[in-house]
Amino acid sequence: MHCVKSRRGGGPHARTFEYIDFTYADTNTRIYRTSRGRTHSECKIDPMRNNSPRTLPRYGKACAHLHVNRVRRVSQCHHITKRVVMIEQQGHGADQAHETRRRRSGIVAFLVGLVATLAFFALFPGLPHVIDWGAILVSLAVGGLAREACRSWMARAAKKKDERM
C-alpha cells in the first residue's frame, strides 16, 4: 500500500487516515453486507486488510473501497455470477470423484497383490508352509507393483477417453 499525502493543509506533520471497506450487493444491487476496515494513520507496508477467503451467500457484486481522510478515493468491484461458480464447482467435483476412484482402486490393487502373494507362499506345494519376513517383504513389493500398475492403467484409460472427446 502506498502512502497518500494530502495536497492541502500539507506540511511535514499533516496526517492522513486510510481505511478499506468491502461491500457486497445482490443481483438487484441491494447491499446486504458491509465490512468496515480499521483506520490507519501511519504509513506501513503491511496489508491494510488481511481477510480470509469467503463464500458469498448470494450472487451479485463485491467491491473494495479505499477511503482517505473519510473520502472515497478508489473502488474496485467484481461481479460474482451463477454461471462461473457452477462451472467451477462441476469441474472440481468431477476431479475429486476421479481422484477418489483412483485412490480406492489403488488400495484394492495393493491388497489383492499382497493377499495373493501371501497365499502363494502359504499354499504352493513344494515351498515350506511358513510365512517369514522374506515372504512378507516380497508380498508388500508385489502389492506396491500391483497398485502402480492399476494407477498407470487408469491414467492411460483416462487419457484415451479425453482424446476421443
What distances in angstroms separate CA 14 from CA 17, 62, 126, 127, one per listed residue? 10, 33, 95, 92
Higher pLDDT, 33 or 57: 33
| pLDDT digit string, tens, across residues 70-117 | 888 888 888 887 654 444 444 455 667 778 888 899 999 999 999 999
| pLDDT digit string, tens, across residues 115-160 | 999 888 888 777 776 778 888 899 999 999 999 999 999 888 888 8
Are residues 110 and 146 in contact, defined by beta-carbon separation less than 8 angstroms? Answer: yes
Answering whether pTM is above 0.75, one says no
- Residue 53 pLDDT > 80: no
Sheet with 31-35: list strands edge to edge.
31-35, 18-26, 60-68, 71-80
Q: Cα–Cα distance between 125 and 128 in angstroms, integer?
A: 8
Q: If pLDDT is split at 50, 70 and 90, which confidence band does 43 have?
A: low
Q: Cα–Cα distance between 28 and 135 in angstroms, integer?
A: 70
Burial label, 113 (beta-carbon count in 10 A; 0-12, 13-18, 19+): buried
